[in-house]
Each structure stands twice: as structure tokens, then as C-alpha cells.
Amino acid sequence: MKIALPILFAALGLAGAALAQSAGKSVWQGIYTTEQADRGAGVYAQRCGACHGAALNGTGEAPPLIGGEFVSHWDTMTVGDLYDRVRTTMPQNDPMSMTRDEYADVLAFLLKTNGFPAGVQPLDKRSEVLATIGITAEKPADR
Amino acid sequence: MKIILPIAAALLLSTAAGAQTPAKEGTIAARTTNGVANWTTYNADLKGSRYSPLDQINASNFKDLEIAWRFKTDILGSRPEYKLESTPLAVDGVIYTTGGTRRAVVALNGATGELLWQFALHEGKRSAESPRALSGRGLSYWTDGTRRRILYVTIGYRLVSLDADTGRPDPEFGTNGVVDLKTDFDQDMGDLDTGEVGVHSAPAVSGNSIIIGAAFREGFTPKTHNNTKGYVRAFDVRTGKRMWTFHTVPKPGEFGYDTWLNKSADINGNTGVWTQVSVDEELGLAYLAVESPTSDFFGGKRPGNNLFGNSLVAVDLKTGERRWHFQLIHHEIWDLDNSSAPLLMDVTVDGKPRKVVGLPSKQGFFYVFDRATGQPVWPIKETKVAKGNVPGEWYSPTQPMPSKPPVYARNGVEDKDLIDFTPDLKKKALELTSKYVLGPVYTPPIVSTPEKFGVINNWAQGGTNWPGGSFDPESGIAYVYACGACISSTGLLPPPAGLSDIPLVVGVAGQPVTMIKGPGEGAGADSPAPAAAPGAGNAGPPRLAVDGLPLVKPPYGTISAIDVNNGTIKWQVAHGETPDFVRNHPIIKAMGGIPRTGQSTYQIGTLVTKSVVIAGENQFTRTEDRPRGAMLRAYDKQTGAEVGAVYMPSTQSGSPMTYMVGGKQYIIVPTSGGNASGEFLAYALPNKK
């Protein structure tokens, strides 16, 4: 019994991760809208740009939010992971001070500036829904 | 009153804990002398070695290491920390460290990681205003055989002495265990909440003295040239009474005052010692690696060489009087401030035993001096350097350049440094850099224009930064991490009204000039919201990348073994897995891959043991045989060959240490980054194979 429990948890955890992958939701599938990203650019300018830089290149200690290092840093995580990292810790001086919609808009802006395609459905604002969308640095081959 | 309140709160907390005394009982239960090897100062010793003679973990079994325990620091503050830099101490089976956005102090059971006690000062506005927030680099331990104390500096720049067994402030030290470092500072700090000073480093405790340095906001965009001066002070470890002060910016009449023309010493600040202080207890000298004066890239308000800016200074441990100094950079304008703890090494040069001090640097030079006299062990030549054309700037015509050892990290960016995996990439790199200035070490900054945005350089975060180096006291070989690709572009622009009284600060033509934040500034547990950035979101200058690949050639990060007996580089390896975005890039794949590149980061400190050099990685990667994470690697000390590596779920963000308890050797790695908040990972060998 002592052994069975952790194994059960581990198995469920793995199954959940696998499910997200097999559902095939990915940042490459057009998971936000252009309008949303444009709104996000405005929010970014107001709340993020002071530290991360106008061109998202980072300044001082604030890391760049654009480019290979940023994307591969989040490789195999989910959009939900990124969303909650931003929501619970940013702006660094005043976390959780924006609405969930605003956080989703900013995320859409980051996805757009990093070359992930826009689509017709806006990015959801629920962490658990975003947790079903995988971030993969490499664009999958066309099927 | 302002001070009394938080202290009262702290006392109340610790009294509440004291009523139950679980802290003391737990600490006593964890304390042991059975099979113990300690790590009692930040750098293992006051000589800066980061060396332990332990050898249970070695080349033959490093790959078998497993996580023995882990301690998450999320609860030590009002929000999690993602930049955990502290190196813990180990004393007789008990681990002591700072952690969290509150910079709390904790005692842990060294065998299990169980929390024994916690202490924190809640400093309100004073910590919110601090230029140096977050958990800091660590703390210090002192004992006279009876009393045992933990000493650290809070986010709000207070020196605290705690009973190592209970975590309670020592009532005989300062005022109820606290010394306000913003007082007795030989300068008027104005409002004690907002007066700008803080520090990340751990106090250096030697004999009866605690030596404390000072740090400030990032110097890219300072509010004023007349900033706080970074004097170094010593305090009595029992009473907290100030013993001496060394004026890193000389006062009128003091040695070096005349190196600030037009009496400019009176109206300039910074020049602190923000890195660790090293101490030679036999010679009775403390070694201060002093940073740059205000500001980082413009010195027009401080004509002259500016002693003791960018100098290595040896002061008398008992009096603070200067014994010798050597200025490594005259009139510094590159943010190449002294970053590393001095390494006090005993070596044999030309057949003679020598007591030397070695200093790694951001500029890739490893300086070596006789540590009793300050004489260079190998000639350091005054060498002519380029003069810039920034209006109002004063330039030193020469800079000291060591003849030995050779440069160990990229310290200039020229055409030959640009990416050249393919001719097309090189061509694009040259096109991109035509909008910038390239040049060798000490190429001066420029005023940013639409034609030339700035100087591409490896200055602020290049070479060796705050983690410093390490060395093997038996062989006289130093092991030093350096970043070779921490590049940025630096140009200057006039600040908008109200931002600064300095004529030129860091900026980019076509972009609004805004305040640039420093490490942990405005990020602590009590910090308020930032103001909006005007005009942010506009298209900026091009990124310093070519087809998504880094602009400069690998290696992006290295560990060098520098033989200080003869001033040679014994070996150098690229440290760190090739970043995913490089390794998986179509161009690289088409080339059939490239040798390991190392990683572009300045957060890496090394640990030296009997047979290996150990360091982790600071970037997340994913390879075919493991999930997203980072590796902790061990290298053979003689050859640099990798002899083992073990998976870490997060990335190293502070310097590792090692200790033994109950006959078992542990390695603790401070980790954080990305979505992973601060966590100490303790590795050990399996109990059974």
C-alpha cells in the first residue's frame, strides 16, 4: 500500500502530461488572435517595457522575452505554466495587479513577437485551459 | 521608532518560538561532530578558494549522485524568488543560509533538509526602497568556542547577529542584535528609508572583525553623480561597534584625493565593494576589490584616474589603513567593475614560494600580485588605448594590461569574433554590426546615433561576475568560469528632464531613455509598482542575433584552469550544454552539429574538491536522453575532461558548496530560473548501490 500510492500518483501525472501532448494542442496552431496581441502590446508598454525593454530585448537584470533563448527556456512547458509565472510574479513590483484578460493579452503579444502564428480563437484566460497547450520551440513538421 | 518596530516584531516572533523552544531542540539534535566536514564561510575560507578536500564524491561515482533532500524558499517572503544566489554554510551538521524575497535566515538539518528555525526582519519601506533586494549571496558564521553567531545584512542594510542555535538576535550586539549600517557611515544618508545603499555579499568575519561593503542601484542610469559613497567598514563581532572605515573615495587630504580633478571626489559616489572581501589572517590584511565610481559608462563629472575606483586595495585588518593598492582600470567607463573575491594563493614562481593574490575580472584578465607588497608577479604594462569622443568625457590615455596569464575570456568584440558557421551567417553578422562600433578591450563608449547605436561589448555581464573564481590550495591552480557571449550594445544619450543630473546615460537612438533597474532592485517583498514606460513597444534596434543564432562565435561560456605557478592557462572547456535553439537550428543540423558551445550566462560559480571541479548549468535544455532541465557537471582538475554529470530539474543560480555529516558527503546547489522558483538541491551518493 505504501508503494502503490506514489506509483498511482506518478502514473496519473504522466498520463495527464501525455494527454496534453496527444490532444495535439500546440503554440503552432494559432491559439490567439491578432487583435488580442495588439491589445497586449499596449499593456506590455504600460506594465512590462520599463524592465524588459521596448523591443523585448531585456535591460539590466530583466531577461529578453524574445528569441531562441526565451523560447527554448519554455520548451516542453505549457502556455499555462508561462501564464501563471507571469500572472503570479509580474510586474515584479506588483504581481497579480492586472486582470486575467490583460495577462492573456500580454501572453498573446509575446507569442506573436516570437513568431507563433495567430488564429481565430483568442487565448483563454483560465490557467487550466492554457495548461493543455504545449510550448514547443521547434515547429513540428507538416502532417 | 522606525527601527524599533520591525525589531519588536522580530523579537515577538522569536519569543513566541522561544516559548516552545523547538528551534533550539531541533538545532541541538541536528548538531553533531560525527563524520563532519564543515563549510564555514561563503567561499569555504577567507582566502576565497571554494575548495573542500572531501573526496567521497569523485570522478568514479559522480554520475551516481542523487537528490538527498531539497528545500524550497517560496515561503521566505511575500512572493517566490526566481533568483536564488545564496551559498549555504555547513557547521557541525547544520546548514545556515539566506533565502526568499524577504532574505530570511534559516537553519536546516544537514542530513535531511528539515527546517530548524527561521528569522526575518520586516523592514517595510526601507526594504522596498533598497537597491539590492532578494535573498543575497549568503551569511557568515562566528564562534569564540562558546558563543556561536550567524551574521548577515538585511535587504534594508542592517547588520544582524543571531544565536546560531535559536535564531534569536544577540542582545549584546548593536541594539537588540541589530546595527543600522546607514548610520556611522561618515556621510549623511538623509532619510534612512530612502538613502541609497544595500549589499548582497556575505560579511567577511575574521577574528573579532566583521567587514562590510556596499552596493547601489545599477549604474547605467544613476539619478545623480553625487551618489552615496561605498565606504568599507569593520565592526566588532561581539558588540557591533564600528572599528574602522576605509574611504574608497578619499576625503580631502587623504591619499588619492588628487586623482579626482577639480575636487570631484566630493561630488561623486559608488566606488563600493559589493563582492566578497578576502582576508589573510597571517599577514593581517583584508583585500578589497573596489567597483567603479558613478556612473558606469560616463565619467565626465569625475575627471582623473579616480582612486580607489577599480582598484585592488589591501588594508590593515585591525585599523583599516591602506597598505597597498593597484588600480586595474583608470577612470573606468565600461562597467568593468571589480566583481570577484580576491583569491589568496600560495604558489611557487620561478622556484620561489610566493604568497600571491589573484583577481579574476569581467575583462578576462587574471591579475596576480604579491599579496604582501602589491607588486605584480608578472609585468602589468601601461598600454595606450583608444580615446573616445563623447562630449565632456575625460579619458585615461593608457590602461594596465597583464603580460601573464593570457586573457582567459573574450574582452573585445571585433570582426574575428562574429559568427562564422557559414559564409552567409558571417556576411549577415557584418551587415548587422555595421550599425554598431566593434573593437578590442577598452574601446570607449559612444553617443548613440541612428547610424551607430552603440559599442557591442561583453562588458557588464561578461567575463567573470559575482560568483568569482575558485582554486586548489595544494596545486596553485585557479578554476574560473567566464561568459564569452554576454554581449550587449552600449550607447549614451542625454536623459529626459528629472531622470538624472548626469549629462549622458545609457540609451539607444530613437528610443526613450528610461531608468534601468539593477539586480533585485524594486523586486523585494515590500516593493511597490513601477511606472509605465513611455513609448515602449516601438520597434527598437535590431537584435544582436543572426538568423536566430548568437552574434558571436562560441564558446559562449567557459571554465579555465589557470596555473598561477607559471601564469599559463592549463586547460579551458566550454561549460554547459549547447543551447537548444542553437543545437536544433536547421543550419547547425545541416552542418551535422557543432562541438559543445557552453552557455551565455554570468551566474556560474565553481566548487573545487580533492579531485574534481564542479559546476552546474544556468540554462534549461532538453536532449534525447533527458527531459527539460540542466546538468551538474564534474571535470578532472588536471585535464578538464568531464568525468561525470547529473541531472538537475532546475538551473544553478548560485555557487555550489559541499560538506559532510554522518560520514556522508553532500553537495548543495542553489537553483532557480524560468518557471522554477528558488530551491536548494542537496546531492549525495546512494546509501546502497
Looking at the domain that runs over A25-130, which CATH code has it been given? 1.10.760.10
Q: Which domains does chain B have, with CATH numbers?
A: 4-379+406-531+545-684 (2.140.10.10)
Distance CA B418, CA B407 (A): 18
Strands B488-493 and B446-447, sheet pairing: parallel
Q: How high is the pLDDT of residue B527? A: 58
CA distance A1 to chain B (A): 23
pLDDT tens digits, B225-257: 999 999 999 999 999 999 999 999 999 999 999
The residue that leads in pLDDT, A93 or B469, is B469
pLDDT tens digits, B566-581: 999 999 999 999 999 9
B575 SS3 class: coil
pLDDT tens digits, B24-47: 888 998 999 999 999 999 999 999
Range in A39-53, B57-71, B163-177, B406-420 the model is least confident about = A39-53
Average confidence score pLDDT of chain B: 93
> If pLDDT is split at 50, 70 and 90, which confidence band does A142 have?
low
> If pLDDT is split at 50, 70 and 90, which confidence band does B523 have?
low
Is the pLDDT at B463 greater than 90? The verdict is: yes
CA distance B325 to chain A (A): 30
Q: Give kind and range of the element (H or E) at residue B613.
A: strand B612-616
Best of B221, B490, B505, B516 to disrupt the A interface (most A CBs within 10 Å) is B516
Is the pLDDT at B3 greater than 50? The verdict is: no
Average confidence score pLDDT of chain A: 82
* Complete DSSP assignment for B15-75: HHHHHH-HHHHHHHHH---TT-B-B-STTSSTT---B----SS-TTTGGG-EEEEEEE-TT
| pLDDT above 90: percentage of residues in chain B | 87
Sign of CA dihedral B178, B183, B185, B189: positive
Is the pLDDT at B529 greater than 60? The verdict is: no
- B515 vs A contacts (CB less than 8 Å): 50
- B512 vs A contacts (CB less than 8 Å): 54
- B549 vs A contacts (CB less than 8 Å): 68
Best of B514, B526, B626 to disrupt the A interface (most A CBs within 10 Å) is B514
> If pLDDT is split at 50, 70 and 90, which confidence band does B655 have?
very high
Distance CA B103, CA B119 (A): 9
The residue that leads in pLDDT, B270 or B548, is B270
Q: Across-strand partners of B650? A: none
Residue of A nearest to B550 (CA): A68
- A76 vs B contacts (CB less than 8 Å): 622, 627-628
CA distance A96 to chain B (A): 11
Q: Across-strand partners of B96? A: B89, B107
The residue that leads in pLDDT, A51 or A83, is A83
B246 SS3 class: strand
List the single residue in A50, A59, A85 with the smallest CB-CB distance to B531: A50
Sign of CA dihedral B574, B575, B577, B581: negative
pLDDT tens digits, B82-140: 999 999 999 999 999 999 999 999 999 999 999 999 999 999 999 999 999 999 999 99
List the single residue in A54, A72, A93 with the smallest CB-CB distance to B523: A93
CA distance A120 to chain B (A): 24
pLDDT tens digits, A55-72: 788 776 788 898 888 888
Domain boundaries, chain A: 25-130
Q: How high is the pLDDT of residue B686? A: 97
Q: In angstroms, what is the C-alpha Rg of chain B?
A: 24
Is the pLDDT at B17 greater than 50? The verdict is: no
- B511 vs A contacts (CB less than 8 Å): 54-55
Contact B649, A76 (CB under 8 A): no
Distance CA B344, CA B477 (A): 11
Is the pLDDT at B19 greater than 60? The verdict is: no
Distance CA A27, CA B459 (A): 36
Q: How high is the pLDDT of residue B675? A: 86
Contact B316, B323 (CB under 8 A): yes
CA distance A15 to chain B (A): 16
Is the Cβ pair A68, B545 closer than 8 Å?
A: yes
pLDDT tens digits, B185-215: 999 999 999 999 999 999 999 999 999 999 9
Residues 6 or more apart whose Cβ sits within 8 Å of residue A119: A29, A30, A31, A32, A33
Q: Chain A to chain B, count of Cβ pairs less than 8 Å apart? A: 136
Is the Cβ pair B675, A75 closer than 8 Å?
A: no
List the single residue in A60, A68, A84 with the smallest CB-CB distance to B516: A60
Q: How high is the pLDDT of residue A15? A: 37
Residue of A nearest to B539 (CA): A55
Is the Cβ pair B548, A91 closer than 8 Å?
A: no
DSSP state of B110: T
Residue of B nearest to A85 (CA): B675
Is the pLDDT at B81 greater than 80? The verdict is: yes
Nearest one of B308, B307, B311 to B326, comparing CA atoms: B311
List the single residue in B529, B531, B675 with the smallest CB-CB distance to A97: B529
Q: Which three cell numbers stand for residue B379?
A: 609585468
Is the pLDDT at B538 greater than 80? The verdict is: no
Best of B487, B513, B543 to disrupt the A interface (most A CBs within 10 Å) is B543
Is the Cβ pair A42, B537 closer than 8 Å?
A: yes
Distance CA B154, CA B169 (A): 13
- A84 vs B contacts (CB less than 8 Å): 675
pLDDT tens digits, B140-186: 999 999 999 999 999 999 999 999 999 999 999 999 999 999 999 99
Q: How high is the pLDDT of residue A1? A: 34
Q: Is the ipTM of this complex over 0.85?
A: no
